[in-house]
Structure formats: C-alpha cells, structure tokens
Structure 1
Amino acid sequence: MNLRTTLGAGLSALALVLSMAGSAQAAQGNFTYKYVDGYGAERQVTLHDPHSGKCINLHAVGDDKEQPGYGPRNDTDTAVTVYLGANCQGPEWRLKAHGQPAKDTLEVRSVRFDAPQVS
C-alpha cells in the first residue's frame, strides 16, 4: 500500500509541474504584423500563443537586410516589446496586453513577450 500511495503522489506532482510549465512558457492569444513580400503583396503573419521571455526574430522580416514588418497588434495576455532591429536590438516600443493595433508606421523585426503573471 505504501508503494501505491507514493506512486499516486508522484504522478500528481508530475501532472502539476507539467501543467505549470506550459502556462509559464507562452503568452496566450495572438500577435499579428504585416509585411510586403518579394512580389509587392501585403501579407499578415499571426503568432499564436508565442513563447515568452525570449527574443523572437519575426518570419520574413527578422533580418536587418530585409524590409521590416509593420502595424503590429498584441492581442495576447502579456505585454510585448517590439524592436526595429533583429535579435531584439535597436529602438524599441512596448505594446500593452490586448491593446489596440499599432499604426502602420511602427516597424518591427523582432519581439520579446513578458513572462505571464503567475496567480
């Protein structure tokens, strides 16, 4: 009976750790931005539940040799810092959680989402 109790407690602890690890690693919601592709067409990219706490170079615009993306919108549950340069370098701006879309004049190449608040 002691083995069964120990095994049950161990599995419960593992389930708790796994559930907490998933929520601490990602902002919940969508982050979108626009860019112009090589054919001159405007495209929109959506990051769904993006990773938090690390720099993300954005698809198609995350290199300083490319034209930057623009018009970011943060519809996640955490604030985000957007950077004009790749690798979270250069001028930066903060966008609130569930905020209004930024103007198309705000250019972006990389982002870093705040770690979600643990309650």
Structure 2
Amino acid sequence: MRKLNAFLAVVSAVALCFAIPATASAAEGEFSYRYYDAEGEIQVGSLVDPPSRECIEIPETADWDVSAAFRPRNNTDSRAVVFKNAECEGDDYFSLRPHGGHGSDRLLLRSVIFS
C-alpha cells in the first residue's frame, strides 16, 4: 500500500508540473524607432511588450535594399541591445537602458534583443 501511495504522489507531482502553464518572459512597454518608407518619408515603428532573450528583426528593415532603422527609444522595463546587422550579429551594437534609453539618428539598427 505504501508503494502505491508513493507512486501516486510522484505521478500527481509530475502531472501538476505539466498542468502549471509556463510564464512567458517579455519586456513590458514600448520600443520605438524611425525608418524610411518606400516614398522616402520618415515613419515611426514600434514593438510593444516584445519577448525577452529573443532576437527580433525590425520588420520594416528586413529587406537589405531598405535602409536601416534609426533613432531607437527604449521605453520598456528591460535593457535593449540594438544591432546594425540582422539576426543580432556583428560587432556593431549598442545597449539602451530601460525606461527611456535612446539613440540619435546616427544609431542604425536592423535587429534588437531585450534582457
């Protein structure tokens, strides 16, 4: 009987672990940037509550024929690291502090990752 109780306790504990949903980690807030549209006009893009620890391509600059985004502003609660290259690669990156960290028009980006 004790073995059955122990077995049921273990099975119940394992089932409980699978029943509890995993919490998705996300930076809360908005990350904004500027980019040029097809007509050469400056537009504002943003990422709202972006996922953490996941490389995010700036959607408006995914095509290499399009100029990179610029003037990022990090109004999330996480540190943002912006990369001049796609896929969060390369030596050309810059870290923006949470709650208002920003860059100038000279800070170009194609991808970003949040801590």
Structure 2 length-normalised TM: 0.78
Q: Secondary structure at the match of 1:82?
A: strand
Structure having the higher Rg: 2
Unaligned 5+ runs, structure 1 = 1-5, 115-119
Of all paired residues, the percent bearing the same amino acid is: 33
* Structure 1 position 79, deviation (Å): 0.1
Separation (CA, whole Å) in 1 of partners of 2:63 and 2:73: 20
* Structure 1 position 46, deviation (Å): 1.2
Tell me the C-alpha RMSD between the 2 structures: 2.0
Alignment of 1:31-42 (within 5 A): 31-42=31-42
* Structure 1 position 64, deviation (Å): 3.4
Aligned length: 101
Spell out, residue by residue over 1:31-86, the C-alpha distance to the aligned partner (whole angstroms, 9 max, x if none): 00000011011110111000111111101113433210000000000001100001
Is 1:21 the counterpart of 2:20 in the alignment? no
Q: Secondary structure at the match of 2:103?
A: coil
Alignment of 1:84-103 (within 5 A): 84-90=84-90, 91-103=92-104
Unaligned 5+ runs, structure 2 = 1-11
1:54 corresponds to which residue?
Answer: 54
Separation (CA, whole Å) in 2 of partners of 1:62 and 1:110: 9
Separation (CA, whole Å) in 2 of partners of 1:82 and 1:106: 9
Separation (CA, whole Å) in 2 of partners of 1:103 and 1:65: 22
CA contact (8 A) 1:80 1:95 kept: yes
- Detail structure 1 runs of 4+ shifted over 6 Å in the superposition: none
CA contact (8 A) 1:49 1:76 kept: yes
